[in-house]
Structure 1
Amino acid sequence: MFTFPPLRNRRPVALRLQAVLATMALAATAGVVLSTPEASAATGSATGYATQNGGTTGGAGGQTVRATTGTAIHTALCGRASTSTPITIEVEGTINHGNTTKVSGKSCDTAAGVIELKKISNVTIVGVGGGAVFDQIGIHVRESSNIIVQNVTVKNVKKSGSPTSNGGDAIGMESNVHNVWVDHTTLAASGGEDDGYDGLFDLKNNTRYVTLSYSTLSNSGRGGLIGSSESELSNGFITFHHNLYQNLDSRTPLLRGGIAHIYNNYYTRLNESGINSRAGGRAKVDNNYFKDSKDVLGTFYTDAPGYWQVSGNTLDNVTWSKPGDDTNPAGPDMKSTTTVSIPYSYSLDSAGCVPSIVSSTAGAGKGLKVSDGTC
């Protein structure tokens, strides 16, 4: 079974005195950013499609700073020598609208009321210590690359009502984003669109080479999408593995065009539909466990078909709709309708072991534990 490289701390390479002094000055101004060049949070190594296209290393090799507010996160980004200077931002505490303001600088493009990762690269944001909770405030990745987000909780982000953030997405990526690894996160809402929430993990407008791993997505109307419309097909090469999808109405994910590799995920209480491949999308769906759910795979709510390759999945109390003009469920007898070639190495856990493995490893605050291949 697949095992990940050992987690370890890294010392950043030689820091220029000028950069250190600049960061210390910003820290004094903000009062909340501490330079910690002798310590770096463990991040492990990216997996899935995030390893392709040059790989995803985030802020490896750069300075490490600590942030306890959203303003401090923005200050750390703005304090770099350039938009591509590597940095690891260790986050602890609660990040919210009250402590997240716009910060200006040549190496950043931030905004109030959202954690803005815009027009930048080589950044890691990782929760440490007692944990990092982004409360009603989303993480927005735009025109950026080589980003890692790890061990954080993002909850109750709204697109309507008050306060609003990030279009209602817990984590949203758009506009020429590539090579992002989101790992061991907890993404949650407290209702559906009528309650002001949108997607938990949305990717659109040329977002590619992304992996979501060991994360939980729960209590929302929409898990997430790849592509914002039937004609917006520039996204793809996305991996979802060892995630828990729980009490969601739909979009786990919604795939419009492109390729997604979906393996070893645990799905429970998908209330209306699950993996929705449409508009030419191709999903490779391996060794997942689906429980107490409806229409877990197919093309739904459109007459633009998508396709899937399936193997090794377990269906536990799954129900299916009858086929119709805009409904093409993959079951009850799930069969492949395409083939998908995966360019990276991976090993599959047995589907029967997935509930126990995912329950013990997925989400923030789990010590970055990963599967060892046993139940």
Structure 2
Amino acid sequence: MKLSSVLCAVFATLTVAFPKEYLSLATWGVEGYAKNNPIGITTGGKGGKTVTVTTAEELVAAVKGTEPKIVKLKGKVTLPSRLKVGSNTSLIGVGLTAHITGAGVDVFHGDNVILQNLKITHILDNDCITIRNSTRVWVDHNEFSSDINQGPDHYDGQVDIIRASDWITVSWNYFHDHWKSSLVGNDATFRDLDFGHLHVTYHHNYWRNMGTRGPAGRFGHQHVYNNLYEDFLYQAIHSRSDNQVLVEGNVFRGNTSEALSTYGLVIPMDSPNTCTCGDEELDGYANLGAKNDWGKAGVNITQKGNFYKADYKYKLTPLKLVPTVAKLGAGVGRIWILPEKGETRPPPPVARLSRVHISKANDTCDSLALKYSVSSAEIFINNPDILQCDDMVEDVPICLPFQCNTYQVKENDTCASVSEFLGITRKDFIFLNPWSDGGAYSDFPFGKFVCTTPSDGHYNRNIRKSDPADSNYADEVVPRPENANPAANQQCGRWYTVEEEDDCLSVLGQHDMSLSLFTAANPSISLRNCTASLIPGQAYCVGPTKNALPESYAPPAYWRRRISQEHLAVEYVNIGCFESKKEYVLLGKDYMEWRDGTLEECAYFCREADYFALQTKYYSPVE
């Protein structure tokens, strides 16, 4: 599947800034040395049996042996010892769920292995992934991290490739918050073994907040192109000990000491030992292909090599698009795996999106959820361009889900405690927020705002309701936003952040609120000069609770806390990526016509099929 298919949805509203020729940018299929080599293309477990595992014990057993096999990992596992992956294996994470910790992954004396869509963090026993004496390995769309503040020797490497390994591709990975990232080649002891091997391609990876080794190479050949580097303490790309590296089309941002170095002296912070001056090694070689953007980083090429061009076909992403493409594409949750024959095909997340927000500086899933009255998680799930909820790329269309009443989750909240607080059942809460796992939210990755009513297109905070029961009062207090007007009532269930173009008439009309009630809930607002009292950027109470002011309130008529618990089986006709279909067959006694609210510019992204099921909800009609 080509990345251009995914980016079409992102760039659909930016045709002026991003010409059409830029949409054919790269591929998510295997490229580089793992594809082009004397042995043959890396296929992993293609043609073999598929098994899905959820425990460490199942995982260890599933990846053994050399017979072709596809192993799908679902959920987090803590490995008691290194995972030994056999030849002809594809180990692929499911959606955003697959997480390996405890011990790392070894590919020793193997061939034809794919490691894809895995989150591997805080590995203490050795590297996150070690490839040794192995050929044709593709490390793709993974995330690696630890804690850089622990220093250079607390953790080892993230992806180390050693002992005559050959024909490797490392692509579309997100490396962050770690000291020593990726080493190619052992020390001089193994020079004779390594020399003539270690052909490795690194492309479209995203490195952020690192120490060094992005990569560091000895004795081999590395082709490093279209990667994004942000904040390296020391050398980002380091070629030493007669190593050859071809560097082209990379972008360096933030504070990086050296973008590229061939100087053989390894500073102590890279490889601490008893020698305080660092390890003395021979210099390496470097060649520059297509233009790089070095930013403020230094470049120290002591020797030019003879690695002028890679001996395979590849297409470079335009340099000015590398930061956006790398951030949008690298890491987990970006790939979509077709279901195996006989597996259920869940429907894509159509009819979930209502409008587009162009991301700005300091946007987060939570800030957008508060602004638009939507679920933080649905913002994240529906927008694979959001790498992290608190680190959005600027000037990118964010497809927003339908609105719902929201609740801001607090530390130590659980599905059960929130459900009890809201007066709904735990099953109802999970039904409204199907990505929730029922546990505590102290380390919740998707943001803090959850839905307490269906986000099915009926609820709209900014549309005047004809039913008077929908107006005036909220039935429960929600946490006070940080940007709340200081004088606003504390007992408030709905907040609205005033924008520059707002006046009192528009605010009151949007929320079906009388001027007297609005000023009572917000004492800083003047009855005589309401609009002049509004301060853009501040949040005002537009839904005080019944305890705050003496008037009646009833929940919206469409929401009666009556959600069908029956599972509705769904068949999606003629499924295909980036096509918004309307043909559904809903099996069950309850049926309602599903309205297709998808905007063209919010055409859904191809995601792992199992994860589609988490993004689509069905409700019985309310009598």
> Which category describes the TM-score, using the shorter chain as reference length?
0.7 to 0.9
Alignment match, 1:122: 88
Compute the displacement of 1:290 (Å): 1.1
Match of 2:30 among 30, 46, 49: 46
Match of 1:90 among 60, 68, 72: 72
Q: How does 1:133-152 map to 2 (within 5 A)?
A: 133-152=99-118
Query: Relative to 1, partners in 2 of residues 1:237 and 1:76: Cα closer, same or farther, differing over 3 Å?
Result: same
Match of 2:136 among 179, 198, 216: 179
Deviation string, structure 1 residues 109-167 (Cα, Å, up to 9, x no partner): xxx522112xx311000011442000232111111110000001000101xxxxxx3x2
CA–CA distance in structure 2, aligned partners of residues 317 and 288 of structure 1 = 13
CA–CA distance in structure 2, aligned partners of residues 198 and 44 of structure 1 = 28
Compute the displacement of 1:273 (Å): 1.1
Alignment match, 2:286: 308
Alignment match, 2:342: none
Match of 1:65 among 31, 51, 56: 51
Alignment match, 1:170: 128
CA–CA distance in structure 1, aligned partners of residues 332 and 33 of structure 2 = 21
Counterpart of 2:58 in 1: which secondary structure? Answer: helix
Q: Is the aligned partner of 1:289 residue 2:289?
A: no
CA–CA distance in structure 2, aligned partners of residues 130 and 298 of structure 1 = 36
Q: Is the aligned partner of 1:266 residue 2:250?
A: no
Counterpart of 1:274 in 2: which secondary structure? Answer: strand
Alignment match, 2:163: 205
Q: Is the 8 A contact 2:245 2:287 kept in 1?
A: yes
Higher-RCO chain (CA-CA 8 Å, sequence separation at least 6)? 1
Counterpart of 1:72 in 2: which secondary structure? Answer: helix
Q: Is the 8 A contact 2:95 2:333 kept in 1?
A: no
Match of 1:214 among 172, 187, 201: 172
Amino acid at match of 1:296: A
Point out where structure 2 has 5 or more consecutive residues left out of the alignment: 7-26, 267-279, 337-383, 386-395, 397-623
Match of 2:242 among 263, 273, 280: 280
> Between Structure 1 and Structure 2, which shows a larger proportion of strand residues?
1
Q: Is the 8 A contact 2:141 2:330 kept in 1?
A: yes
Point out where structure 1 has 5 or more consecutive residues left out of the alignment: 8-42, 98-111, 159-164, 321-328
Structural RMSD (CA): 2.5
> Between Structure 1 and Structure 2, which shows a larger proportion of helix residues?
2
Alignment match, 1:256: 218
Alignment match, 1:323: none
Q: Is the 8 A contact 1:65 1:88 kept in 2?
A: yes
Q: Is the 8 A contact 1:50 1:209 kept in 2?
A: yes
Compute the displacement of 1:367 (Å): 3.2
Counterpart of 1:313 in 2: which secondary structure? Answer: coil
Alignment match, 1:344: 312
Counterpart of 1:364 in 2: which secondary structure? Answer: coil
Normalised to the residue count of structure 2, the TM-score between the two structures is: 0.45
Q: Is the 8 A contact 1:283 1:340 kept in 2?
A: no
CA–CA distance in structure 2, aligned partners of residues 270 and 172 of structure 1 = 22
Query: Relative to 1, partners in 2 of residues 1:194 and 1:288: Cα closer, same or farther, differing over 3 Å?
Result: closer
Alignment match, 1:30: none
Compute the displacement of 1:88 (Å): 0.2
Deviation string, structure 1 residues 32-59 (Cα, Å, up to 9, x no partner): xxxxxxxxxxx96321100123120000
Q: How does 1:323-362 map to 2 (within 5 A)?
A: 329-330=300-301, 336-362=304-330
Query: Relative to 1, partners in 2 of residues 1:279 and 1:231: Cα closer, same or farther, differing over 3 Å?
Result: farther
CA–CA distance in structure 2, aligned partners of residues 60 and 137 of structure 1 = 26
Larger radius of gyration: 2
Compute the displacement of 1:238 (Å): 0.2
CA–CA distance in structure 2, aligned partners of residues 155 and 148 of structure 1 = 19
Work out the percentage of aligned pairs sharing the same amino acid. 27
CA–CA distance in structure 2, aligned partners of residues 5 and 61 of structure 1 = 27
Deviation string, structure 1 residues 238-263 (Cα, Å, up to 9, x no partner): 00000011111111111001100000
Counterpart of 1:232 in 2: which secondary structure? Answer: helix
Q: Which runs of 4+ in 1 moved over 6 A?
A: 4-7
CA–CA distance in structure 2, aligned partners of residues 277 and 77 of structure 1 = 34
Counterpart of 2:75 in 1: which secondary structure? Answer: strand
CA–CA distance in structure 2, aligned partners of residues 306 and 170 of structure 1 = 26
Deviation string, structure 1 residues 254-276 (Cα, Å, up to 9, x no partner): 10011000000001101111111
Amino acid at match of 2:55: T
Q: Is the aligned partner of 1:156 residue 2:133?
A: no
Compute the displacement of 1:350 (Å): 1.6
Counterpart of 1:45 in 2: which secondary structure? Answer: coil
Q: Is the aligned partner of 1:190 residue 2:144?
A: no
Number of residue equivalences: 295
CA–CA distance in structure 2, aligned partners of residues 5 and 236 of structure 1 = 30
Higher mean Cα deviation, 354-363 or 52-61?
A: 52-61
Counterpart of 2:326 in 1: which secondary structure? Answer: helix
Counterpart of 1:172 in 2: which secondary structure? Answer: strand
CA–CA distance in structure 2, aligned partners of residues 203 and 227 of structure 1 = 6
Q: Is the 8 A contact 1:157 1:189 kept in 2?
A: yes
Query: Relative to 1, partners in 2 of residues 1:283 and 1:194: Cα closer, same or farther, differing over 3 Å?
Result: closer
Normalised to the residue count of structure 1, the TM-score between the two structures is: 0.73
Query: Relative to 1, partners in 2 of residues 1:129 and 1:353: Cα closer, same or farther, differing over 3 Å?
Result: closer
Q: Is the 8 A contact 1:6 1:44 kept in 2?
A: no
CA–CA distance in structure 1, aligned partners of residues 304 and 317 of structure 2 = 20
CA–CA distance in structure 2, aligned partners of residues 237 and 252 of structure 1 = 15
